[in-house]
Amino acid sequence: MAPEPVACFVVLGRQGSGKGTQCELLESKTGVIHISTGVMLRKAVEAGTEIGKQAKAIMDSGNLVGDEIMCGIVSERLAQDDVIEKGTVLDGFPRTPAQAEALTEILEELGIELRLAINLEVDDAQVIERMLERGRDDDTQEVIERRLQLYEQETAPLLDWFNSRGLLKSVDGSGTPEEVFENLSALVSS
């Protein structure tokens, strides 16, 4: 019998919904590799790489980095041994329907199963409060508004994209990280 393929989970939710925290918990409890495109881009900016230079102004304004750059970064990362061995949980990717289409192809080539997308549901007022507390460079009121607007336009349609493929489940993201994780991990292991 062929071995079961490793899994790719996707965590969706507005910026500030707790995706990063939940993905870290999932990585530490199950071993799946947490890949955050936001973290990768911030590291590229810090390191002053070509991609970092191109991404900085876009990130500072709250806009989205181009699909081509993003798909390139993610496909390179997904092909690494740790992911092939343990599977992955994606945080911040896909963010547009084009990225979701590309992800499907990349995973197919690598023999990784797109298993489930989990939508962390937190309302606008709460995510704004959380982001302002976090105080990152791109966490100013104006940039936050732009990012939330783009979330509605570009990323929210992904909920339908995953749902129509039978791959979407939702979790109430408004509790403590531990409470939210209890519900999220039940979905992942079911």
Catalytic residue numbers, as ranges: 19, 95, 134, 136, 147
For ligand AMP, the binding residues in 112-171 under the rule CB under 6 A are 147
- CB 149 → ligand AMP: shortest distance, Å? 11
38 scored as a contact of ligand AMP (CB under 6 A): yes
Q: How many residues bind ligand AMP (CB under 6 A)?
A: 16
Choices 1-9, 37-45, 111-119, 122-130 (CB under 6 A): range interacting with ligand AMP: 37-45
- CB 28 → ligand AMP: shortest distance, Å? 19
Residue whose beta carbon is closest to ligand AMP: 38
> Is-cis flag, bond preceding 94, omega within 30?
yes
56 scored as a contact of ligand AMP (CB under 6 A): no
Choices 33-41, 46-54, 114-122, 160-168 (CB under 6 A): range interacting with ligand AMP: 33-41
Of 68, 19, 123, give the one whose Cα is nearest residue 9.
19
Tell me how far apart the alpha carbons of residues 64 and 154 are, in angstroms, rounded to a whole number. 9
Distance of CA 124 to the CA centre of its chain: 18
For ligand AMP, the binding residues in 3-32 under the rule CB under 6 A are 15
Applying CB under 6 A, which of residues 59, 116, 117, 180 lies at the interface with ligand AMP?
59
3-state SS of the chain is CCCCCCEEEEEECCCCCCHHHHHHHHHHHHCCEEEEHHHHHHHHHHHCCHHHHHHHHHHHHCCCCCHHHHHHHHHHHHCCHHHHHHCEEEECCCCCHHHHHHHHHHHHHHCCEEEEEEEEECCHHHHHHHHHHHCCCCCCHHHHHHHHHHHHHHHCHHHHHHHHCCCEEEEECCCCHHHHHHHHHHHHHC
Which one, 132 or 186, has the nearer CB to ligand AMP? 132
- CB 8 → ligand AMP: shortest distance, Å? 14
- CB 94 → ligand AMP: shortest distance, Å? 6
| Residues engaged in binding ligand AMP (CB under 6 A) | 15, 37-38, 41, 58-59, 62-65, 70, 92-93, 95, 99, 147
